[in-house]
Structure formats: C-alpha cells, structure tokens
Structure 1
Amino acid sequence: LSLTDIAVLPEFRRNGIATTVIQRLQEEAARTGRDVELSVERMNENAFQLYRDLGFEVTGESQVHLSMRWSPTTKKRT
C-alpha cells in the first residue's frame, strides 16, 4: 500500500488525527499481509518523527525526500 499524501490543517494538528489514519492503514496492511510505503520531505521533521514512532524505517533517500516502509512482518502492529 502506498500513502501518497496526508495533511492536517494547522489548527487540528497534535490531536492524533494523522496517527489514527495511519494506524488504520497499518491495520488494513497487516490484515492483508502488505507493506505500507511513503516518502517524506527531509525538512518535514515532525512528519518524519511521526512515521518513525509508528514503526516506519528509511529505505532510500534523495536530496529532498526519504523513502520509508512499514511491514507487518517486521514491525509491531500499532
């Protein structure tokens, strides 16, 4: 599965909205035995930390982006 874009309006951030959406995606991925992949801008430290906290690992990098993956077979389910 690929997480293409997720954005939360500033006034609604830090309320667990993105975490909940991503955890639901992880649940679906685990149910179907699939990985979740995404890319995040290097400068977006808050998003990067969120993904790390949810068990994503860096799998590649460019000057601007980091590729990340979460796998139900290697990571605890959230």
Structure 2
Amino acid sequence: MLQMRPNCECCDRDLPPDSVDAMICSFECTFCAGCVSTTLAGRCPNCGGDLMPRPTRAAHLLAKNPASTQRVLKPGGCQKAT
C-alpha cells in the first residue's frame, strides 16, 4: 500500500491524499507537479526514475488506511536538473 507522503520533498508543499498534484517514483519519493516540471525535468533526484502522478485515496478509506504523516524534505531543496 502506498504511504501517501504528505509533502513535496523539494519545496515542502502540502500534498494531501486527494491531491492531483502529487507525483511519485517507484520508491515513493514524492514531489509536487510544479517542482517536477520546473526543477526536476520529470526525473526523481534520488533514484533517477520516472515521476508519475500518485493515485488518490478515497476519503472513506483513509480511516482504515491513513496516509503517512512523516514529512520528508531534501536538505537545501532540489537542484535544477541538467
């Protein structure tokens, strides 16, 4: 089951479980769509993998399967992809 991390690792923007702006790689590194398009060029800065839209979780399922509350943030933010 996806952790549904609560924030962008680059800019710390909140990304609630129903956010359509959350993007993840296969390791669930989580970024907002803005950072993915303007800074990361569609690639995870941690593993180099593709960043894809994170599925949303239906509100009625969050009580039994809550999203993570642990925030992950890259020290110094993300560097622009070259």
TM-score (ref. length: structure 2): 0.25
Identify the structure with the greater helix proportion: 1
Q: Which has the higher contact order (CA 8 A, sep 6+)?
A: 2
More strand by share: 1
